[in-house]
Structure 1
Amino acid sequence: MGRVSGRSCIVTGAARGIGRAIGEALLDEGADVCFADINGDQVRAVAEANRDRAAASGAKVTWAAVDVTRRDQVRAMIDKAVAEFGKLDVKFNNAGVNRPMNFLDVTEENWNFIMDVNGLGCLIGMQEAARQMIAQGTGGKIVNTASIASRQGFDNVAPYCASKWAVVSLTQSGARDLAKHDITVTGFAPGVVATEMWEQVDQDLMEIGAAERPGQAMDEFSAGILKGRTATPADITGTTTFLASRDSDYMTGQIVMIDGGMVLV
């Protein structure tokens, strides 16, 4: 029996990268999983590609198109998962965006775009998941995706750093408020992970003159990793499955660093 057998989970930002890997690892451990993303066509394809994986562990899989900044869409996503799985046990607020911009060039539009998705989207996701869990009366787990950028500021991604600091604060606030409902709130903070998002960040940094060649940004960020290499999504999922499992029932309000030793706190 898997570590999360019988648990119903939603993962946002699950059409690719870390989110997809989180969902697939949960399926392997027996959880029912709703893959959710703003890109409906792509996330539907991910869910369909995982039908056999789900069947192999006796789990169910579904998908939802969602803009995490829209409360009505988040509520509809949760309703769909509950209709198909019967309940909601674990909600991963993983959807996130970045749009590098040199510090003095950061605009209100850049700030609002990043803070809306990464900050407000996390808050709405936490609130609506908690309301469902409270109505069920069975407790639950909320897991938020932070970042090494939640622990220190970087000059070319200031709004992203601020948004991930917000995720840490929301995790702590939610943990304090929801403990009385037997809902735990935790998070994890990846470092440099070889995903499509990092490839886009690398390109964006070249466009704003912060990097001169492809791969430079990743190389420079990775130079301080004690483990000596960048992470893959598979390096993250052992921890995320733990946070979704009963093994972490006594943990709340904490952010787990999964960065290979980039930032020591």
Structure 2
Amino acid sequence: MDGVTVTGVRATARILARDDGRGGTSLPVLEGDGPLALRRTRASGAEARVMLVGAMSGPLGGDRFAVEAKVAEGARLSVGSAAATIALPGQTKGEAHYDIRLDVADGGELAWLPEQLISARGSDLYVTTRVELGARARLVLREEQVLGRAGEEPGRLTSRLTVRVEGRAVLDQELACGPGAPGGWDGSAVLGGRRAVGQLVVVRPEFAAEPVAARMLGEEAALMPLAGPAVLVSAVAADALRLRRLLDEALAALG
């Protein structure tokens, strides 16, 4: 059961989006507990919109948070968050976990656009994001991570992002930063001294027939086609504001 234990807080939020048969999207499941609260906001056309609201600080050391979102055929869902998530050290030793599971059926559409994840000094967080997509599913996924608050060294942050289309992996990558991470994470081949890193994954069926060409987007971002109907934009920046601008410009360039 979810709740407080000697090893930290356990909390899960669940979303299910379905075509309501009237040109819109219904949310028969919208539930969260503990520090994870979900709020439906004003819809836009056929798209349902949900905001993830943090009801308390965290994740802290030893916490295990999870968010599960399923989008059925014909449904359209956009998920954002009310504020940045801040990984903090806790009284309980050991790393915290934040697991995100996204499932989009054929003909479904998901925009996953949370605010930044900030790794505060002394924290230890492992984030996993796993996405399962049907053949004709559409996805926009933004992931932004900031290493340390202003004037602060970061905690340890490990992030793994996996995207599968029709059961086939099109992306599986992991990045570890901060104290105890493998050497070189802050070097010129990875972050180059910058403190904000982000990814944008866009999946559209039309990319299978007309792949997007790989190219640099200035000096801090690159667009790469993936082995499937998907593209990946990777960016690094000095701060969160600059990172968001780079990813927004990349999404606009993709139309």
Shorter chain as denominator, the TM-score bin is 0.3 to 0.5
Q: Which protein is richer in strand relative to its size?
A: 2
What is the TM-score when the length of structure 2 is the normalising length? 0.33
**Larger RCO, structures 1/2 (Cα 8 Å, 6+ apart):** 1
Instruction: Name the TM-score, length of structure 1 as normaliser.
Output: 0.32
Higher helix share: 1
